[in-house]
Amino acid sequence: MPLGWIDLEDFSFNSFLLMDRFQIRMVFEPNGWRNKSAEWKKCMGIALNANPAVKWFFENKSPESIAAISEIAIAQNVSAEPAEIRKAEVFILSSVEDFVIYTKPELMDTHCDFIYGWEKRRLFEMADFSGKIVLDVGSGSGRLTFAAAEKAEWVYSSEPVDSLREYLREKIKRENIQNIRVVDGMADSLSFPDSTFDIVMSGHVVGDFWDKEISELTRVCKNGGWLLDCPGDCKPEELPDAKEHNDELLKRGWEPMFYTGTLGGKVKRYRKKVGK
């Protein structure tokens, strides 16, 4: 379901040319969480055949996806009218709307409700950041990173998407911020030694591989430090079927800290004190 952050008619199918290998792999992996309906496969096939440069990019950027790409393209190897092609392109873009807006991160602060509806005091309620060494995992456009940097000694911003890393670096330079460093990294594979950070935080990140990701967050956090899960605000209608609690975090000993956000949604924060 489209997220409604952007008008996808404004975006070219060539937006895929700005994406990273892991994103392409996620688009095509057979058992992934991305849309793999018959309609999705049909539209992707039409779009691939109409955009050979994108198809070439997919195959060379993510060679592990070649078989899936070829199967989809061959199944729809028929001519299509321009209107049908564009309809197919927009359908595919809608299935990865988050990846699409990452190609223009300057839009995120004003278009993504989880960012523009959020107040940084909600992060500071969760732990004392004064003088701390902090890691923000999957930092995106820096919602948590830039807030934490106002109080922390150092903030390391770990983000796997190249366009977002460059956006962060440009903002840091433009605003002359001295205590943030941007690095590449996934939640389940962080390039830091054990027990490096006083606080390890994230939002909208953990959940693909619960045990592996939480184990990695815990590994790089100091004994007595905090793990924080601090999502942004949302509208009530965005999560109508959401559970009252996150059972996966609760059963692993995380403490819930809920509040009603500025947009009216119930925001479910969690934290856990690390004991090693």
Domain containing residue 223? 114-273
Q: What integer is the mean pLDDT of 98-106?
A: 96
Residues 140 and 228 occupy one common structural domain:
yes
CA distance 120 to 33: 30
The two tokens of residue 64 are 């592990």
Instruction: Return the half-sphere exposure (C-beta side, CA atoms, 13 A cut-off) of residue 256.
Output: 13
Q: Give the least confident one: 67-81, 94-108, 115-129.
A: 67-81
The backbone torsions φ and ψ at residue 25, rounded to the nearest 5 degrees and listed phi first, read -60, -40
CA distance 270 to 257: 6
Give pLDDT, residue 33.
Answer: 55
Residues 127 and 239 occupy one common structural domain:
yes
User: If pLDDT is split at 50, 70 and 90, which confidence band does 241 have?
Assistant: very low
Residues 95 and 158 occupy one common structural domain:
no
Which of 65, 80, 103 is the endpoint of a domain? 103
Residue closest to 218 by CA, chosen among 157, 109, 130, 135: 135
Residues 92 and 133 occupy one common structural domain:
no
Q: How many helices (H) and strands (E) does the chain have?
A: 13, 7
pLDDT tens-digit profile of 43-64?
Answer: 999 999 999 999 999 999 999 9
Q: Is residue 60 part of a domain?
A: yes
Give pLDDT, residue 237.
Answer: 65
User: If pLDDT is split at 50, 70 and 90, which confidence band does 208 have?
Assistant: confident
Residue 109, pLDDT above cutoff 90: yes
The SS3 assignment for 32 reads coil
CA distance 201 to 118: 16
Give pLDDT, residue 140.
Answer: 97
Please report, for the domain that includes residue 163, its CATH number. 3.40.50.150
Which of 103, 135, 158 is the endpoint of a domain? 103
Q: Is residue 124 part of a domain?
A: yes
User: If pLDDT is split at 50, 70 and 90, which confidence band does 179 have?
Assistant: very high
Residues 137 and 183 occupy one common structural domain:
yes
The two tokens of residue 250 are 């609760």
Residues 96 and 133 occupy one common structural domain:
no
Residue 199, pLDDT above cutoff 70: yes
Give pLDDT, residue 1.
Answer: 55
Residues 267 and 211 occupy one common structural domain:
yes
Task: Please give the tally of structural domains in the chain.
Answer: 2
The backbone region for 104, taken as left when phi is positive above 0, alpha when psi lies in -120 to 50, beta otherwise, is: beta
| Cβ-contact 186, 22 below 8 angstroms | yes
Q: Is residue 249 part of a domain?
A: yes
Residues 21 and 151 occupy one common structural domain:
no
Give pLDDT, residue 29.
Answer: 87
Q: Is residue 121 part of a domain?
A: yes
Residue closest to 144 by CA, chosen among 152, 249, 219, 274: 152
CA distance 26 to 34: 7
Which of 103, 138, 161 is the endpoint of a domain? 103
Residues 150 and 53 occupy one common structural domain:
no
Mean pLDDT of the chain: 93
Answer yes or no: pTM beyond 0.85: yes
Residue 245, pLDDT above cutoff 90: no
Angle between helices 38-50 and 82-95 (to 10 degrees): 120
The two tokens of residue 101 are 């807006």
Spatial strand order of the sheet with 266-273 comes to: 180-183, 154-158, 133-137, 197-202, 221-229, 266-273, 255-260
Q: Is residue 108 part of a domain?
A: no
Residues 14 and 88 occupy one common structural domain:
yes
